[in-house]
Amino acid sequence: MPKLPLEGIRVIDATVVWAGPYASSILADMGAEVIRVESTNFAPYGGRGLILRPPESTLKTGGLLMAGYPNREAGARPWNRNPYFNHHARNKLSMTAKLNTPKGLEIFKRLAEVSDIVIDNNACGAQERLGLGYKGLQEVNPKIIYVGMPGLGNKGIWKERIGLGRHLEEIAGHTLLRKYPDLEPGEMSDIFHCDATAGAIGAFAALLGLYYRQRTGKGQFIDISQIETVIPQLGEAVMDYVMNQRVRESLGNRDEWAAPCGVYRCRGEDRWVAITVFNDKEWQGFCRALGNPSWTKEEKFSTQLSRWKNQDEMDRLIESWTINKEDYEVMYLLQKEGVAAGPVMDEFQCFQDPQLRERGYFEQVTHVDCGTHLYPGMHWKMSRTPACIRKPACRLGEDNEYVYKQVLKFSDEEYEGLEKEGHIGMDYHPSILVRGAAKM
């Protein structure tokens, strides 16, 4: 097998929840040796699930975050079975150390001496207070590249304000833009788009840091504000206000330019299809697919602008057609006429999608604590350095012996001593398991 692009690069993963773990996951997929530094005596919020040992009754009847454990069972080590963690922790290693002790801090710094990158998306100042921020690690490794990516960045009057994905969505204005016109903002589901964009940007920024170091021999601190990674994706609305002092209103499933543009109910339970028509040529194809019904010839639907102004009535007429057809049937009819259309798929349909299967997107992975399942695969395919899920998600502390003895050069006697002191292990301390949701 050819070497992956980032083989030989070592990354310290000091991350929580989603944005940071996603950034380090991308680096791990590309061959970097990503080592999660964890602790058996405390668990960061969202590190391995919101609750380290959820009650079985909650797993059977609880919401989405609880229902995803294999067979809806906690198992002996539920912190290794959380589906959210098992996606982003692939291709990573896990070591443990008691970071609230001087010895634990020494271990972390010793790892930083032989590492290239640190990814940290904890609250601003959390790592610095431990002496494990950029300044503290730069002292032991001047070439270290430190990516610090809290919600609101590492500078500014709000830098220490605590927030999660949904709070950043609100501040960025994304929630009001994507809400449906007939619903209040509080009725919208969460999407945490800011985490996804910050994760991708974080990985890209780390690569730029590596490139700079290759040219100059110097490391650097990279300050990422997660919210600043999502605002540019709302650029049209932002610039409309800057240039015209106009605040955008929510369009729901509609578009500023396309009409019809929406999601329409199809035959079957909770089956829908998305349709978008941008110009008269596409409209003509759309009409042919429907069999040119008389209503499509009415004056109020004769131009793009008139269709845009009469969308409510047009949507009802379109749904009277889609409701009698299956979602894929509508897609094939419209695609044949050059009209953008596709089914609104649930997870089952996504796993069965012939295009994704043809590309080999989903990969089968066997995990000691989770069993064998299909997992979402690589983000892209490289012809000369193809990547894959080389290793299932790291179990807590499963790579301790490798990291301590081979990477950090601890002797067997020192390793045994650290085990006795509680730095090394694969189970959380009993006091952690009874606290319920862990705190940062």
- Shared domain check, 99 and 33: yes
- Shared domain check, 200 and 63: yes
pLDDT digits (tens, 9 = 90+) for 255-310: 889 999 999 999 999 999 999 999 999 999 999 999 999 999 999 999 999 999 99
pLDDT at 435: 53
- Shared domain check, 394 and 329: no
Q: What is the CATH number of the domain that holds 310?
A: 3.30.1540.10
- Shared domain check, 425 and 312: no
Q: Which long-range contacts (CB under 8 A, 24 or more apart) does 238-244 make?
A: 238/173
- Shared domain check, 392 and 324: no
- Shared domain check, 330 and 196: no
Number of separate domains in the chain: 2
3-state secondary structure of 11: strand
- Shared domain check, 419 and 306: no
Of the candidates 3, 10, 206, the residue with the CA atom closest to the CA atom of residue 93: 10
Q: What does the longest C-alpha to C-alpha distance in the chain come to? A: 87
Whether the CB-CB separation of 322 and 273 falls below 8 Å is answered with yes
CA distance 5 to 308: 48
233 occurs within a structural domain: no
Run of H or E including 12: strand 10-14
Q: What is the CATH number of the domain that holds 391?
A: 3.40.50.10540
- Shared domain check, 403 and 323: no
- Shared domain check, 275 and 195: no
pLDDT at 62: 56
- Shared domain check, 387 and 347: no
pLDDT digits (tens, 9 = 90+) for 145-171: 999 999 998 999 988 888 887 788 888
Q: What is the pTM of this model?
A: 0.91
For 399, the domain range is 10-224+382-433
CA distance 132 to 75: 34
pLDDT digits (tens, 9 = 90+) for 82-113: 888 998 999 999 999 999 899 999 999 999 99
- Shared domain check, 186 and 277: no
Run of H or E including 22: helix 19-29
Amino acid at 122: N
- Shared domain check, 132 and 61: yes
